[in-house]
Amino acid sequence: MNIVHHLERLAIFGVAALTAMGAVQAAEIKISDGAVVNVGLRVQTWAQWTDHGAADGSDKIDFSARRLYLYFGGKVTPALGYFAHVAGDRLGQEGVDTPSLGLGSGMALRDGWVSWTFADGFKAQLGRMYVPFLRAYGTESTFTLLTMDVAQFQQGGMVPGRRVGRDDGIALWGNFFGGKAQYRAAVMDRADTSGRTGAVRVAGRFAWNFFDPESDWFNAGTYLTKKRVLSLGGGFDRLDNFIGGIDHRGWTLDGFLNLPVANGSALTVECAVARIAQDHTRYTGNYYFATAGVLLPWAWRSHRFQPFVRYEKFDLDRNVVSGTNDDHETAAGLNWYPLGPEHKAKVTFDWTSVKPRNAKAYNRATTQLQISY
């Protein structure tokens, strides 16, 4: 089976779909007494090839809806607001099926909270939301990423839980100095696991922006030409006895740069280091993450292109496991923006080399089509 032929054909169909969707806009519905509802749809579809990925050792091709999000948000009063994502994730992907979380074959609440703004420096959110710990998998919208997907090793033991990087609780957050400083602090009810106790999860992060502010709850993985951002941040995550008597401790330091330059080009760089400790389990070690991409200055009509690279490594403590002590992935890819440098329409091509711990290395190629309105 010729994987190149399949990916080329998918890209052609994708361009037609993106062009047809070019006139679609998110809806804003005004209600009596000044209340406003914003409604939109975000979709990412995948075609993915993995060498030796099938059960019989042959190559595997898997088509899936990576993400299908219907979102609602708005204001009841200037101070009282709300937000919700109803999500289907990895719909149709082989070996994935947890319908209660919207994984594999179901739709479920992914994010959902009520918010109260006392001032820009003091806001409260109650509901289900990202754990405020890591930047790349705790603040960034998955429809604005530089690379194909969220950081891979942050999806397992990096942010333990059963809610796809989210947890239920209350978060206090806000901005100071014109949005250059932002803090987030949360008390959450931990992962829902067997043998849970009454202990709560405590997490938080702080970030300082030297140029343009990042004052919203969701950040972007690349701002393209829209913002000049240099952010340095750090976070912590703590769960006592979250499963089987194991305590979880995590801290992280991260940096992010988005720099528009001459001729409509822009540079995006992100890096992070984290320490995860879960007693003597497989998720005790150091994590390293780095991505970089360039929005090229050349355009063909409205089309723009952004090559990128990604590197991740999870280096386990040697007293935890025997054999090979690290997982790592290396990737290169290209974002294609057919409607100009904005995330509402995007085609992404990605090639990733995966070297798992104590397992055979393999490669995968993925094409993603994205619509976000």
Classify residue 288 as left (phi > 0), alpha (psi -120 to 50) or beta.
beta
Q: Which comes out higher in pLDDT, residue 72 or 11?
A: 72
**What pLDDT digit, counting tens, does each position of 62-86 carry?**
899 999 999 999 988 889 999 999 9
Q: Which comes out higher in pLDDT, residue 194 or 123?
A: 123
pLDDT score for 191: 57
Average confidence (pLDDT) over 175-191: 90
3-state secondary structure of 342: coil
**What pLDDT digit, counting tens, does each position of 103-145 carry?**
878 889 999 999 999 999 999 999 999 999 999 888 999 999 9
C-alpha to C-alpha distance for 247 and 277, rounded to whole angstroms: 8
C-alpha to C-alpha distances, 119 to 78, 79, 173, 206, 295, nearest whole angstrom: 11, 9, 10, 18, 36
Q: Selecting from 1.10.10.10, 2.40.160.10, 1.10.1790.20, 2.60.40.10, what CATH number does the domain 3-372 have?
A: 2.40.160.10
For the chain, the average pLDDT equals 85
Average confidence (pLDDT) over 40-57: 87
Q: State the pLDDT confidence band at 32, using cuts at 50, 70 and 90.
A: low
Q: State the pLDDT confidence band at 277, using cuts at 50, 70 and 90.
A: confident
* pLDDT over 90 (residue 153): no
Share of the chain above pLDDT 90, in %: 54
Average confidence (pLDDT) over 83-99: 86
Average confidence (pLDDT) over 207-226: 96
C-alpha to C-alpha distance for 314 and 358, rounded to whole angstroms: 13
Q: CA nearest 247: which of 199, 287, 187?
A: 199
Average confidence (pLDDT) over 285-301: 92
